[in-house]
Every structure is written in C-alpha cells, then in structure tokens.
Structure 1
C-alpha cells in the first residue's frame, strides 16, 4: 500500500549499526544464520534505520535485526519489534473472505454490492456487477486512490488516508466510471480491498480488529498483529521514516482499514506464513488452502490467488507465494514456498523496498 505522491528528495540517514544477536531455534542450521547475517551486513550503509529478517526451512528458524528502530524501550530491533505491515493486511482480509466462502455464507461469484452498507453503491459495467472474486484478485476496475481524494486541499500526504470517511468513499464511488469489464485485467486497488472490508461489517480500524482477531490472529497466536497497540506494544514500535530519512507519522487507514491498517512483527509474520504451509484441520485451514490457489493471471510470470501473489523464484524456480506492504514510513515482505517448506519475513522502518532481500533469501534457502 503506497502513497500516490512521490516524497521530496532530501538528506540521507545514518548507516546501520552492528547486527543484533539472532534468535535461533533448536534446529537452526548454520546456513540460515549465515544467509540472514550476510544480508544484514550487506544492508549496512544502504539507508535502513533498522531492518529485521526472519528465515526458516524444514530444519529450523533464524531471526536477527540491525540498526536503531527508535523504539521508546531502547531495545535493539529484533523479532518482537513492531512495524506497520501495510498491504500484507490484505492477505488477512482475503483470508477472512475465504472463511465466509468456506462456511457457505457467500461465494466468490456473488456481487460485492449485496454485502455492502446501503450508502456504498458500486459502479457497474454495462449492467455487470463487481464480484467478491473481482475484488480479491484486483480486477474490479475500482481506482486505488480516487482522483477526487488526491485533489483534497486538506490532505496530509504524510498520512494520506486519515481524513476520509464513509461519506467520502460513497462520493468517490458515485464519481467512478469503470475503465473496463470487471474480472479481466489486474489493476491493484487499495480502495477496492477497503470495500471488501466494509462488506465484512468492517468500518474503521477498531471494527477491522473485531473481525480479524477472533477469526485469524487469535487462533494463530499472533499477539502483536493488531490495528491498535497497547502501551507495552507502543514501547516496542519502530519510528517510521520517509524516503528522505526524515521521521514520519504512522498511517491511519480509517475506512480502508482492510487494505493496510495492521501492525506486526517478524515473529508473528513467520508464524503466520508457517500456518499456510501446514494448515490445521477445520475452516481456517481450508480457507488457507483456498486463498493460495491461482485465480487470475497478473502477467505471463505471475498469478494471484485471494490477495496472495504466486510466481516462480528466479533461480530455483520454486513457487513463491508472497505479499509486500508499504506505508509512509515502513516497508514489509512476507512469503513462503510450499514446495520447499521455507518462508521469510522482512520489516524495515523506512520507505525503502525490502523485496529483493526477501526473494534472494528464499531463493537461496529453497534451492534445488
């Protein structure tokens, strides 16, 4: 989830400090430690205020961090340091939708309009309605950030979603003309996923929490994955930085909470992606299997399931299931390879991508 406006260029930031001691599980191999520590050392001097990486294979897990997260408790960044995870939130929303499908309460072919509050009227294409599946695969045609929103004189681009209410969403939908028939072309949309959240009776962040906590984060034991932090969690939260290295506020996604409102940790994200590799019996496990099935081609190399992207790793060719995220001051990546039983999570507190780090690590640990 990213801002539509490019941040102004400015001064750089200090280089990363020494690598923090990693947390190794009993079965951790020297290979995992070597791979992660090498990436952290390579990141030094590349502008990351802090960086935390977690990597696992079938034999163990290793988590380590580097830099200064600016967290009030003064601790060195690690697996329990809290960051905004941005659009990785969408995978939780997709899983909540899949649970509705598994329980028989809705179908991907159903019009999304059927489940929305009355004041939110979706545009149609020559009478064809946008379906739940169209939104889950980013083929709805709904803009990610409406032009009328971008023109608001009171918008604060450091926290661009904060001012928008359900009334603003309704107005934007009335002004939207779909560019094509829904279900045909992948076109990533934060607003559409926000509407998927509204269809689950999710309003702002607190209401999103009331849906996700009992259905997903609670059962999976993700104690630090939340839209609202406790006092203790706030003391573990990293300070975000924009592309210039200046500190910047957290984003408050409000009515589009389902698109990017969650905070999280590397420890939680590793637990989360592990659950997809060995889904438990029952509705949640069935939903986890459902969301990682390919539904629509993004391009010749990639497909999308339910808010998860699927593509082969560049060297090993193993299938990678992944999502990344970004707010004004944070970047994130979580992914796993079903064929090799491996997974990765990377978090940083600056608007600087971490995708290449994550992909390189998974490719190395998922090799032939």
Structure 2
C-alpha cells in the first residue's frame, strides 16, 4: 500500500482526480480551513521538479527588481548580459516577461529536435547548458516580430539578466529573495545532478520509465527549480496574501490571445465565470500546476512525478476550493 502523508482526505481526492497513472503525487489547498497539504508515495519534504512554474518565480523576481529600482521595463538584455550586439541584445526585459520578445521557444543552435528524440528514447536531460553556453545560443538566435509567443529561451535570459542586475547568480537570487524571506527550505535551483537533495524525487514518463533530472545552470529561470509540496503551499499562501516578493507579477497587463491575459509569466483566464491566475509545468518526468482564485482567496498546487498532465485536475480542485471558501 502506498504511504500517504498529511491530510488523508486531500490525498484521497487528489488520487481520485488523477487516477492510477500518478503514483507519486502531492497537493496543497488554501481554503476556508487555512493551508492543507498531502502527498502519496513521497513524504511532505520530498522535492519535485516544478518545471515551468519556475517562470512564475522568475516573474516574481523581475517585478521585485523593478520595485527595487535595479531595472526598468525598458532595460535591454545587452545592458545586463555580455551578449555583444546581436539582435537579442536589444530585447527588453518587459517583452521577455510577457513572452513578446520575438525570441523562439528554443534557438536552432540548441538542436531541439535532437534533444527531444534523446528525451523520448533514453529519458536524458535535454537542458544541461551553463550560462556561457546559453549566451552563445542567444547570440545566434533569430528575433522575430514581437508578438505573443511562449519562449523558454526568453525566460532563461530574463532570469539571468535580473540576477546580473543584482550582481549575483540566478540560483542565489532565488535563495536570497524568494526562498529565504518566505522560509522555503526545499526550494532550490540545482545546476548539476550532484546538487540534488537527498529528498529529490525521481520522475518517470507516462510509461513508468525513470527520467534524468532536468538540471542546468541555464534552464533554471525557465524550468529548473525544485521544491516540496510544503514549500509550494507556503509560496501559494504568500501569493494569495500579497506578501511574496514581486507579487505584482500576477497582475495581468496585456492580452496573450483570445481570452487569455498575462502578467510577468502568470496567465489569467476566466473559468466558469471566475478569474483564475495560474501556471503549469512539465519536464521529462514531472507535471505541475498552480492556480489562484484571488477574489475568493483560494489556491491549489498539484505536483506529480510522472509526465501525464495535471492541469484539468488542478482547475477542478481550485473550483472546489473556491466554492468551499465562499460557502464557509
């Protein structure tokens, strides 16, 4: 029998929604009874890859740096990173934060197809570059029209640029400005596999095969952060009450197509008549989802150590939490 930790009712409801493919899961709900956490198959201190929810944390750091006066919306990449004078150097941080930079999802020099095939066949980490390799990719990247276009490359560069403005590394910036102030002891950015904690969960693909951890200095700001469900619950609560540094990142500032709006990484849509601010994440062996109904004061995090999506279930849990919040 798989061990359950934390709140048994939440663990059971999460498993009911996720189904048998998700063997190692964790969830957190902020609702009328405060913060509730649960996990199945790993303890509450085990850390998961949160994937592109890392972009949401980079968005927080970006807005926090704006508030500190270290950068402006119009600060260009070339002012903070040693890029020389390629087109990418002229891209503004504001454009990066809203996925409107014109940069591709990944640069052609990164050989994305080859990486994807290696991931599918062998479960290998497709993101192992250091910062210098990232900068080399940026120098050769084509910059297109500044329209809404999701870009991992853009958020990698944004995070390292914000760290450069603060005179530190991205990993240290996350620790200094997010993890330490909010007492998030398990939230960290491993650059190599040997930096993984002893509580690091191993992810699997949807067929149950183990996958290499997605570590790398370059990928940190776009998808390289790890955290436990307890720390994600604390972060969620701080986002809801506005005490998280850079919480203004959640405020939608522009359209991102259709009924979708975006702030600094964070997406806002209307679900069943309610405004939901959210982000998801996916790596070779993990899926994650975080969402907030700010009007109701409710929020949900779902983490899974398998690559089967959890978005629908996250939205479902959030609807339940919002309704319970209002009924209470």
Q: The TM-score by the shorter chain falls in which range?
A: 0.7 to 0.9
Deviation at 1:276, TM superposition (A): 1.5
Going from structure 1 to structure 2, the CA distance change for 1:261 and 1:104 (only over 3 Å counts) comes to: same
CA contact (8 A) 1:83 1:347 kept: yes
Cα deviation, 1:201-246, whole Å, max 9, x if unaligned, reads 46xxx93221111111100111100124999983322111123210
> What's the TM-score, normalizing by structure 2?
0.86
Deviation at 1:365, TM superposition (A): 1.8
Q: Residue 61 of structure 1 aligns with which residue?
A: 35
- Superposition RMSD on alpha carbons, in Å? 2.8
Distance in 2 between the 1:214 and 1:154 partners? 32
Give the counterpart of 1:91 among 14, 31, 56: 56
CA contact (8 A) 1:54 1:63 kept: yes
> What's the TM-score, normalizing by structure 1?
0.77
Q: Residue 92 of structure 2 aligns with which residue?
A: 131
Q: Residue 66 of structure 2 aligns with which residue?
A: 101
Indicate whether 1:304 and 2:262 are aligned. yes
Distance in 1 between the 2:229 and 2:114 partners? 37
Distance in 1 between the 2:154 and 2:315 partners? 27
How do residues 205-216 of structure 1 correspond to structure 2 at under 5 angstroms?
207-216=169-178
Give the counterpart of 2:108 among 143, 147, 154: 147
Deviation at 1:187, TM superposition (A): 0.9
Q: Residue 9 of structure 1 aligns with which residue?
A: none
Distance in 2 between the 1:138 and 1:178 partners? 12
Q: Partner of 1:54: helix, strand, or coil?
A: strand
What are structure 1's unaligned runs of at least 5 residues?
A: 1-16, 25-32, 69-76
CA contact (8 A) 1:117 1:199 kept: no
Deviation at 1:132, TM superposition (A): 0.8
Runs of 4+ in 1 over 6 A off after TM superposition: 151-155, 229-233
Deviation at 1:188, TM superposition (A): 0.8
CA contact (8 A) 1:82 1:233 kept: no
Give the counterpart of 1:177 among 142, 150, 169: 142
Going from structure 1 to structure 2, the CA distance change for 1:179 and 1:49 (only over 3 Å counts) comes to: same
Going from structure 1 to structure 2, the CA distance change for 1:170 and 1:224 (only over 3 Å counts) comes to: closer
Higher share of residues assigned helix: 2
CA contact (8 A) 1:121 1:170 kept: no
CA contact (8 A) 1:311 1:321 kept: yes
Deviation at 1:266, TM superposition (A): 1.2
Deviation at 1:311, TM superposition (A): 1.2
Indicate whether 1:82 and 2:47 are aligned. yes
CA contact (8 A) 1:109 1:131 kept: yes
Q: Residue 154 of structure 2 aligns with which residue?
A: 192
Deviates more, 1:222-231 or 1:107-116: 222-231
CA contact (8 A) 1:318 1:340 kept: no
Larger-gyration structure (1/2): 1
Deviation at 1:136, TM superposition (A): 0.2
Going from structure 1 to structure 2, the CA distance change for 1:54 and 1:153 (only over 3 Å counts) comes to: closer
Give the counterpart of 1:43 among 7, 18, 28: 18
How do residues 262-273 of structure 1 correspond to structure 2 at under 5 angstroms?
262-273=225-236
Tell me the matched-pair count.
Answer: 316
Distance in 2 between the 1:345 and 1:153 partners? 32
Distance in 2 between the 1:234 and 1:113 partners? 34
Distance in 1 between the 2:260 and 2:250 partners? 13
What are structure 2's unaligned runs of at least 5 residues?
A: none
CA contact (8 A) 2:35 2:237 kept: no
Q: Residue 20 of structure 1 aligns with which residue?
A: 4
Distance in 2 between the 1:170 and 1:232 partners? 23
